[in-house]
Amino acid sequence: MRISVIGCGYVGLVTGTCLAELGHHVVCTDNDPERMASLKAGVVPIYEPYLDGMLAANCRANRLSFSIDAGEAVRTAEAIFICVGTPPLETGDTDLSAIDNVARLIAAEARTPKLVVEKSTVPAQTGQQLKRQLGHYRRNGGAEFRVASNPEFLREGTAVEDFLHPDRIVIGVDEEATERQLREIYRPILEGRFHCPMHLGGCPPTHSPELLVTTINSAELIKHASNSFLALKISYANVIADLCEKVGADIKEVTRAMGLDSRIGPRFLAAGLGFGGFCLPKDVQAFIRLAERTGVDFSMLKEAERVNKRRIDIFLEKIRQALWVLKDKQVGVLGLAFKANTDDIRFAPSLEVIRRLLAEGAQVRAYDREAMDRTSVILPQIQCCREPYEVARDADALLILTEWEEFRQLDWERIHGLMARPLVLDGRNLLEPKAMMKRGFEYHSFGQPVETVTARFVPPQISKVSEASVSA
């Protein structure tokens, strides 16, 4: 099928590349000339595992191309996927101006019938507005349009795998012809016959995903409801972590037992600095505003948002208690991206932690293999290091702010020898407290009772003196 993708951001690039991988002929277009020039030159502007190799392979196979001529992309397509940004307004509402601009473009340029698919995350009832706007902008005797909602459930860091082997595919339609066309687009995935190429591991799908056919309004609501529930789950785990610290329980033991209950499940029950990134905070705000506009009391979601914002305050207090005074202290930071396996720093908790440290006079060095260049533009005051051990050198404290697997595998004995004070504050509960204490670190995390991770800590040199005294 001939498909055009409007918007070459995170969702658009993954969507366009993966649709080409399924065998469709895809043209991607965007109004950012610099981004388009990079893509046409084969340079992928974001870090996402497997995306660059798959994009290059499909360009070579002539299934994927990039064009600055948005009008031509509309005219040649049978189906048009809208993947433009829908950022939050100051009110918390969703800015839909880009969607409206795309509607104008499609209505003006289309000469034949088009399937218009919402892929961007939008509030419920946006699809109905989109249909009306396409009708308003359409020229006399212009093309007919069918509109569908096909929300994305891509996780940064695993987006390519999520697209090709999804848990479910949701399509919101109001016509059988629209459903048939979308089924055809996703047929290789739905029939379970799509195998990942070798550069993705060459693994066949473990199951065929379920296709959920709903109304357009329901499909739009499913996306916001799903993301907001994940936010609730994260905030719930964080409150439980705070309670664990007060009563002497271990958050990992508690959430592991909770996750074994099939009604609950283990995912997104990880305590720490809370959620960040562009999607969850934005979608929570938009869902709250939708509830307010419709007169529905969604106080629990407001509380989840409040709990999430408080995580940084709580973490900073842990740092202050450990270091006493932050002014002129050398603080090392491991991790800048809002989560592992991405270079995305939008709404990353790490950036707010660093800003607060700088405001109190701390000296900050940081390392993140993928996100340092983006961070340097926003926070030029910090020193970005090209390897993690340089961050630890002469540091009074080392903070873990992103759960990169790389940090778990570091030579922590070496780090201990490099630090001025072997103090680690783990904002992602990445490491094991007992192992860190055994190596001689003072270790703080979320949801570990203080007496089990710090009170028993005795610096190695003092331990030797104590043992000698006992022998005497």
Q: pLDDT tens digits, residue range 193-219?
A: 666 665 555 555 556 789 999 999 999
- Which pLDDT value is given to residue 195? 64
Answer left, alpha or beta for residue 174, where phi above 0 means left and psi between -120 and 50 means alpha: alpha
What are 20's two structure tokens?
């080409």
| Mean pLDDT score, 140-154 | 88
What are 113's two structure tokens?
């019938």
Superfamily of domain 216-472 in the CATH hierarchy: NAD(P)-binding Rossmann-like Domain (3.40.50.720)
Residue 86 corresponds to which amino acid? T
Q: Percent of the chain scored above 90 by pLDDT?
A: 87
- Which pLDDT value is given to residue 101? 95
- Residue 316 CB burial class (10 angstroms; 0-12, 13-18, ≥19): middle
136 has a pLDDT exceeding 90: no
- Which pLDDT value is given to residue 7? 97
User: What are the Cα distances from residue 389, in Å, to 367, 381, 460?
Assistant: 9, 20, 21
Backbone angles phi, psi at 133, to 5 degrees: -65, -40
Strand 25-29: give its sheet, edge to edge: 64-67, 25-29, 2-6, 79-82, 114-118, 145-149, 168-172, 210-214
Packing angle, helices 97-109 and 126-137, rounded to 10: 40
> Among 28, 196, 244, 279, which one carries the catalytic annotation?
279
Which tens digits make up the pLDDT trace of 11-61? 999 999 999 999 999 999 999 999 999 999 999 999 999 999 999 999 999
What are 45's two structure tokens?
């502007």
- Which pLDDT value is given to residue 203? 57
- Residue 253 CB burial class (10 angstroms; 0-12, 13-18, ≥19): exposed
- Which pLDDT value is given to residue 206? 59
Better-scored residue on pLDDT, 409 or 467: 409
CA dihedral 81, 87, 403, 328 (to 10 degrees): 150
- Which pLDDT value is given to residue 81? 98
- CA-CA distance, 435 to 432, in Å (whole number)? 5
- Which pLDDT value is given to residue 448? 86
Average pLDDT over the chain, rounded to an integer:
91
Which tens digits make up the pLDDT trace of 428-442? 999 999 999 999 999
- At residue 463 the predicted structure's pLDDT band, cuts being 50, 70 and 90, is very low
| Mean pLDDT score, 366-389 | 96
CA within 13 Å, CB half, 149:
29
- CA-CA distance, 24 to 185, in Å (whole number)? 8
225 has a pLDDT exceeding 90: yes
Tally Cβ neighbours within 10 Å of residue 422: 23
- Which pLDDT value is given to residue 468? 38
- Domain layout of the chain by residue ranges: 2-214, 216-472
Which residues touch 417 (CB under 8 Å, ≥6 apart)? none
Residue 387 corresponds to which amino acid? E
pTM for the full predicted model: 0.87
- At residue 92 the predicted structure's pLDDT band, cuts being 50, 70 and 90, is confident
Lowest average pLDDT, out of 120-134, 165-179, 445-459, goes to 445-459
319 has a pLDDT exceeding 80: yes
- At residue 192 the predicted structure's pLDDT band, cuts being 50, 70 and 90, is confident
For tokens 């973490």, the residue is 315
Is 244 a residue of the active site? no
- Which pLDDT value is given to residue 461? 46
451 has a pLDDT exceeding 60: no
User: What are the Cα distances from residue 133, in Å, to 63, 106, 214, 377?
Assistant: 31, 10, 22, 39
Which tens digits make up the pLDDT trace of 338-361? 999 999 999 999 999 999 999 999
Contact 277, 339 (CB under 8 A): yes
Contact 254, 429 (CB under 8 A): no
Domain 2-214 and domain 216-472, same fold? Reply is: yes
Superfamily of domain 2-214 in the CATH hierarchy: NAD(P)-binding Rossmann-like Domain (3.40.50.720)
Backbone angles phi, psi at 168, to 5 degrees: -155, 155
Packing angle, helices 216-247 and 299-323, rounded to 10: 40
- Which pLDDT value is given to residue 208? 79
Residue 159 corresponds to which amino acid? A
